[in-house]
Amino acid sequence: MIENVTVEVLNPAETLRNQDGIFEVTSPYGHVYQVTCRRGAKMSVRELSEPKRALRPESIAWRIRRVAQAVA
């Protein structure tokens, strides 16, 4: 479970599969997405911003941070 920390992962879909809540997910290229997860349902993904970094990533890891608890 992701709680009040930022985690770095290689596969965000696998990490978020059994989570509930709203998460901010940043790609290695700097794209920022809002991902809404409900256990047992599909994830909803919305792009929040364009890349803020160079086109060549320094790391291949994705960053995930919870921004809201379970959704109704």
pLDDT value for 51: 74
pLDDT > 70: what percent of the chain?
A: 86
pTM metric for this prediction = 0.83
pLDDT value for 14: 93
Domain ranges of the chain: 6-68
The size of the chain, in residues, is: 72
Could you report the per-residue pLDDT of 54-69, keeping only the tens digit for each? Answer: 567 677 899 999 998 8
Could you report the per-residue pLDDT of 23-37, keeping only the tens digit for each? Answer: 999 999 889 999 999
Distances (CA, A) of 28 to 3, 7, 9, 24, 62: 21, 13, 10, 13, 6
Q: Which residue has the tokens 């790391």?
A: 59
Average pLDDT, the chain: 86
Q: Are 13 and 23 in contact (CB under 8 A)?
A: no
